[in-house]
Amino acid sequence: MSEIPFLEFSGLSKRFGGTQALDGVSFTIRKGEVRGLAGENGAGKSTLIKILCGVYSPDAGEIYLDGEKISPRTPAEAEKLGISVFHQEIPVCLNLSVAANVFLAPDMPGRFGMPNWREMYERCEEIFEALGEKIDPEKPVRECSAAEKQMVLLARVLSKKARLIVLDEPTTALTPPDVQRLFSVIERLKGMGITFIFVSHMLEEIMSLSDRITVLRNGQYIGTLDRPEFDTEKLTQMIVGHSVVSVVSRKQVDERPVILEAREIGVGSSVSGISFRLRRGEILGIAGLQGSGRSALVRCLFGSPPPDRGRLLVDGVEVSIRSPLDSIKLGIGYVPEDRKILGLFRSMDVKRNLGIAHVDRMTRLGFLDMRAMKALAEEMAKLLRISMPGVDAPITSLSGGNQQKVLFARWLAIKPRVLVMHEPTRGVDVGAKAEIRRLIVNLADEGYSFIVASSDLDELLAISDRILVMRHGKIATELTRGQATKERIILSATTG
Ligand SMILES: Nc1ncnc2c1ncn2[C@@H]1O[C@H](COP(=O)(O)OP(=O)(O)OP(=O)(O)O)[C@@H](O)[C@H]1O
Ligand SMILES: [Mg+2]
């Protein structure tokens, strides 16, 4: 008897304007496996998932679930079929309790339109028990950690009896221990017969969790690797289409002039007593767990919110930063961690998003010089190899990683002396990751200075001249390039 695949994609195609997002993609998934889905930014991963989940309908091709053709037209229809998805951002109602979020209407148990809270709490606890988690169902979600929010979402999915759960870059907002926690819950659910599709740019993660990995490139199916065949180089090759050199070499920067100096700066109760010097052409890495003050530190350098004590010197002269505008005037740029909330203007097109930090130089007689803006955008897009329909396209039509590149380009365009970057390659594919890192290193060689805060230790180790490890709002250790290892960073971030 030939086995019917649990899920089958057959000849799926989807076109957006001039972009062939999916081009005749066919493959099958077995019941109870975790299938990794990898590919460059813009490869078509989210498009495939959105078709599966009823957000888009395909131009051609079919999907079969347990041998039956399905064509969900809305996410609600997909959910009825047992297909649920987690998106790149975490949609929860912060003001509501954990239980209310798990049973978001219309599934709330209750009579006469009134929720039955006791029953909700009980069912909620049962679901968490199945997940091997303990979370108070009455707690407001606002008080939950990022990991707990993910658990709430998983519980929501389980309450709807999902058979197939799609995770589109679920770990980008999580710390390493939380990632482990999520993975062990996934293993558990897999044991209960639930099938997963897991999309990620973190090759290490995707290889550790998946049973098989399917690679898409330019909207086409490239191939599938079985667990025994997993290998970073092979996978990278399939994703990018060629091999990627990720090693970078750094020049000595010891003798260069100091351009930014912090003396005992602090912000509220999140960071205090921070002193460091940043030299011209230096890349200063900032490591630390979530809650270590890493984010508050990089944000305060950009004035949001500014330090409330200590002194900052630029070129040896004391300056005061009270707002992002002050920072920009001093030549400090900032690429924020959360591009969706802090960075991009979702209603604007690519060129405006890219040129916005540059408007003072883009105005002629009080009007925006659109020609200059367009030229700048085209130049930067070429430099960073941003793949998109064009600079006039809405920013929301770009894939996640390409949006990240636009944000990076925005600040590069003003040629900052210091560029503060927060998670610069989060959600960015392996090829583009290597490009962005190489770009940072090349720009540093030209005399730009960088402060890079990242939870990706491989990234910090690859590019930093020095790494400050944060713990409890203070600098726990400073490691030079020669001293820094993963073990040392983790040790000083977690103990003492
Ligand atoms: N709504 C849309 N309108 C126009 N173009 C779109 C739309 N959605 C996706 N695209 C284009 O289709 C292609 C595939 O995008 P998709 O979001 O599927 O990529 P992805 O593999 O998920 O990338 P990433 O890893 O960056 O999230 C991209 O070129 C993207 O710009
Ligand atoms: Mg995507």
pLDDT in tens, 184-207: 889 988 988 999 999 988 888 899
Is ligand 1 within 6 A of the CB of residue 45? Answer: yes
- Report the atom number in ligand 1 closest to the C-alpha of 388: 31
- What count of Cα atoms within 13 Å lies in the side-chain half-sphere of residue 400? 25
Is ligand 1 within 6 A of the CB of residue 39? Answer: yes
Distance 48 CA to ligand 2 centre (A): 9
Mutation pick for ligand 1 pocket among 15, 19, 222 (CB with most ligand atoms within 8 Å): 19
- pLDDT tens profile 408-435: 888 888 888 999 999 888 877 888 788 8
Is residue 305 reached through a cis peptide bond, with omega within 30 degrees of 0 on the bond before it? yes
Chain-centroid distance, C-alpha 475 = 25
Distance 184 CA to ligand 2 centre (A): 24
CA separation for the pair 146, 274 (Å, rounded)? 26
CB 102 within 8 A of CB 150: no
- pLDDT tens profile 8-60: 999 999 999 888 999 999 999 999 999 999 998 889 999 999 999 999 999 99
Complete domains list, the chain, with CATH: 7-240 (3.40.50.300), 258-494 (3.40.50.300)
Ligand nearest to the CA of 200: 1
Is residue 137 reached through a cis peptide bond, with omega within 30 degrees of 0 on the bond before it? no
CA separation for the pair 179, 170 (Å, rounded)? 9
Segment among 31-35, 246-250, 296-300, 394-398 with least mean pLDDT: 246-250
The long-range contacts involving 90-95, CB below 8 angstroms and separated by at least 24 positions, are 90/146, 90/149, 90/150, 90/153, 90/173, 91/153, 92/141, 92/149, 92/152, 92/153, 93/141, 94/140, 94/141, 94/142, 95/140, 95/141, 95/142
Mutation pick for ligand 1 pocket among 349, 388, 396, 397 (CB with most ligand atoms within 8 Å): 397
Is ligand 1 within 6 A of the CB of residue 46? Answer: yes
Residue 226: closest CA among 2, 45, 35, 31: 35
More confident residue, 249 or 79: 79
| Percentage with pLDDT > 70 across the chain | 91
CB 164 within 8 A of CB 82: yes
Residue 89: closest CA among 178, 196, 162, 172: 172
Indicate if the pLDDT at residue 90 is higher than 80.
Answer: no
More confident residue, 265 or 91: 265
- Report the atom number in ligand 1 closest to the C-alpha of 399: 26
Q: Which residue has the tokens 């998932």?
A: 49
Indicate if the pLDDT at residue 112 is higher than 60.
Answer: no
Ligand nearest to the CA of 201: 1
Residue identifier of the C-alpha nearest atom 2 of ligand 1: 397
The long-range contacts involving 70-73, CB below 8 angstroms and separated by at least 24 positions, are none
User: Within 10 A of 257 (CB to CB), how many other CB atoms are there?
Assistant: 10
Is ligand 1 within 6 A of the CB of residue 42? Answer: yes
Longest dimension (CA), the chain: 79
- With a CB cutoff of 8 Å and minimum separation 6, the contacts of 371 are none
- pLDDT number for residue 307: 94
CB 468 within 8 A of CB 273: no
- Report the atom number in ligand 1 closest to the C-alpha of 88: 27
Segment among 13-22, 149-158, 458-467 with least mean pLDDT: 149-158
Chain-centroid distance, C-alpha 493 = 22
Is ligand 1 within 6 A of the CB of residue 47? Answer: yes
CB 476 within 8 A of CB 492: yes
